[in-house]
């Protein structure tokens, strides 16, 4: 992990950088290919990459804490499982459950609903581009905020897993409109009856109301219209508002009170919007990232429209595939991970460590 110093085109230090809301802070470089997924919990970061690796990082010391081993193909999704010592990683048709205390795989969940003991791939195993006949590629996965239920795509449906028993208990029916489409993103809200939002490659966003146990087959309780013009890439919910992003470059805002669209931000980015996240600062913001490598911050509180308040053009030289945030830091994943922090929203001094070697960490003043 190395600190970032903003410079002008001539190589001089950019003295205007300190006055910006969003400032590049540090770079975390540990994967050999692009990062596809991030998650953070209590100063620990988990990453999934095209290099078939999933890794755990200690952000306080700025070091790699453990490598979760080789996967069959790209690691497309990683998540910490709330209220446990477990994490999950998704690759091809499987979800591997990891015990972080020993960095070992304890269960493997298959897209078909089967469960096996933890699998370990040898280091010299080749990349697998095919899945068994009874399986299908998992294109989207999300854990509910309690850690009890896991939702994974299965063709045009979504499978519901009970994480206490590691068993498939239910299904969200017809999350897509066509058999050749697929679920591309999920958002889960914890409620008396959990609410699940699905986005699909055929442009639709749907809402499902699920029981607390997740048992049974559920049909969509609502389908949001108008739909996007391309694949839905990200869904986020804040208070009574639903935000959806798509490869059509647009961001839509729907009211969850009357289920109608309040606003559409046309051409909010120049290239495909890859991901969004809520930034829980003093005033909640929406961060969006795109294939061009840019990141934008939007005010979503002042009114029903989205007001752009900050933009970092080409924050990465390649596509930003994923973004997450806490109260003071935003993490963007591309070929490497960039840390951005809010210069005027920090509640306490920012303490970050620079790795000098494998045995020594030097605190940045």
Beta partners for residue 296, in sequence order = 288, 311
pLDDT at 11: 43
User: Where does the pLDDT of residue 1 fall: very low under 50, low under 70, confident under 90, or very high at 90 and above?
Assistant: low
Among 302, 356, 301, which Cα is nearest to 63's? 356
In Å, what is the CA distance from 69 to each residue of 56, 91, 102, 342?
11, 12, 12, 34
User: Which tens digit of pLDDT belongs to each residue from 203-213?
Assistant: 999 999 999 99
What's the start-to-end Cα distance of the chain, in Å?
15
Instruction: Please name the residue that has the structure tokens 């930034």.
Output: 279
User: Which tens digit of pLDDT belongs to each residue from 95-108?
Assistant: 999 999 999 999 99
Give the range among 4-8, 21-25, 57-61, 247-251 with minimum mean pLDDT. Answer: 4-8
**DSSP per residue over 178-247, as a string?**
STT--EEEEEEE-SSS-EEEEEETTS-EEEEE--TT--EEE--SEE-SSPPSS-EEEEEEETTEEEEEET
Task: For residues 320 and 24, give the distance between their C-alpha atoms in angstroms, rounded to a whole number.
Answer: 14
Asked if 115 and 106 count as a contact pair (C-beta separation under 8 A), the reply is no
Task: For residues 169 and 164, give the distance between their C-alpha atoms in angstroms, rounded to a whole number.
Answer: 11
User: Which tens digit of pLDDT belongs to each residue from 121-134?
Assistant: 887 889 999 999 99
Asked whether the predicted pLDDT for residue 361 surpasses 80, the reply is no
pTM for the complete prediction? 0.89
Task: For residues 127 and 51, give the distance between their C-alpha atoms in angstroms, rounded to a whole number.
Answer: 10
User: Which tens digit of pLDDT belongs to each residue from 26-73?
Assistant: 888 889 999 999 999 988 999 999 999 999 999 888 889 999 989 999
Task: For residues 363 and 31, give the distance between their C-alpha atoms in angstroms, rounded to a whole number.
Answer: 23
Measured from the Cβ of residue 319, the count of other Cβ atoms closer than 10 Å reads 18
Bond into 226 cis (ω within 30) = yes
Q: What does the mean pLDDT of the chain come to?
A: 88
User: Where does the pLDDT of residue 348 fall: very low under 50, low under 70, confident under 90, or very high at 90 and above?
Assistant: very low
User: Where does the pLDDT of residue 287 fall: very low under 50, low under 70, confident under 90, or very high at 90 and above?
Assistant: very high
In our burial notation (b when 16+ CB lie closer than 10 A, e otherwise), range 282-300 reads: eeebbbbbbbbbbbbbbbb
Task: For residues 192 and 195, give the distance between their C-alpha atoms in angstroms, rounded to a whole number.
Answer: 9
Better-scored residue on pLDDT, 15 or 171: 171
Among 222, 230, 229, 180, which Cα is nearest to 198's? 222
pLDDT at 61: 85
Asked whether the predicted pLDDT for residue 12 surpasses 50, the reply is no
- Return the CA Rg of the chain: 20
Averaged pLDDT, 180-193 = 92
Instruction: Please name the residue that has the structure tokens 């999350």.
Output: 175
Specify burial of residue 43 (Cβ count, 10 A radius: 0-12, 13-18, 19+): exposed
pLDDT at 277: 98
pLDDT at 15: 41
Averaged pLDDT, 216-223 = 98
User: Per this entry, what is the length of the chain?
Assistant: 365
Task: For residues 269 and 301, give the distance between their C-alpha atoms in angstroms, rounded to a whole number.
Answer: 20
Token pair recorded at residue 299: 């005010």
Task: For residues 178 and 351, give the distance between their C-alpha atoms in angstroms, rounded to a whole number.
Answer: 50
Could you confirm whether domain 2-122+224-363 is CATH 3.30.70.640? no
Averaged pLDDT, 270-281 = 95
Angle at 196 between CA 227 and CA 78, to 5 degrees: 100
Better-scored residue on pLDDT, 195 or 336: 195
User: Which tens digit of pLDDT belongs to each residue from 303-326?
Assistant: 889 999 999 998 999 999 999 998
Task: For residues 153 and 155, give the distance between their C-alpha atoms in angstroms, rounded to a whole number.
Answer: 6
């Amino acid at each position: 992990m190395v600190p970032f110093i903003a410079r002008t085109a001539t190589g001089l230090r950019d003295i205007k950088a300190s006055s910006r809301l969003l400032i590049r802070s540090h770079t975390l470089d540990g994967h050999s290919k692009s990062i596809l997924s991030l998650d953070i919990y209590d100063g620990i970061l988990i990453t999934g990459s095209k290099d078939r690796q999933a890794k755990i990082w200690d952000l306080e010391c700025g070091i790699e804490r453990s490598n979760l081993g080789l996967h069959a193909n790209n690691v497309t999704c990683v998540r910490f499982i709330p209220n446990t010592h477990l994490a999950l990683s998704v690759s091809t048709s499987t979800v591997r459950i990891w015990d972080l205390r020993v960095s070992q795989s304890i269960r493997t969940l298959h897209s078909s609903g089967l469960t096996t003991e933890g699998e370990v791939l040898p280091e010299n195993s080749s990349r697998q581009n095919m899945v068994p006949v009874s399986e299908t590629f998992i294109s989207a996965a999300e854990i509910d905020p309690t850690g009890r239920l896991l939702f994974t795509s299965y063709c045009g449906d979504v499978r519901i897993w009970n994480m206490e028993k590691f068993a498939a208990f239910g299904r969200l029916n017809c999350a897509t409109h066509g058999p050749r489409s697929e679920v591309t993103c999920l958002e889960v809200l914890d409620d008396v009856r959990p609410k699940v939002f699905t986005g699909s490659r055929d442009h639709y966003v749907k809402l499902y109301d699920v029981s607390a146990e997740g048992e049974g087959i559920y049909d969509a309780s609502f389908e949001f219209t108008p739909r996007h013009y391309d694949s839905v890439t990200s869904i986020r919910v804040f208070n009574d508002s639903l935000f959806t992003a798509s490869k059509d470059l647009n961001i839509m805002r729907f009211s969850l009170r009357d289920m109608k669209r309040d606003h559409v931000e046309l051409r909010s980015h120049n290239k495909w919007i890859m991901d969004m996240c809520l930034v829980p600062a003093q005033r909640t913001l929406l961060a969006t990232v795109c294939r061009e490598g840019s990141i934008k911050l939007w005010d979503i509180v002042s009114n029903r429209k989205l007001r752009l308040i900050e933009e970092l053009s080409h924050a990465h030289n390649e596509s930003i595939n994923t973004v997450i945030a806490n109260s003071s830091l935003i993490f963007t994943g591309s070929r490497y991970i960039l840390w951005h922090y809010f210069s005027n929203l920090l509640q306490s001094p920012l303490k970050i460590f620079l790795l000098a070697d494998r045995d020594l960490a030097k605190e940045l003043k």
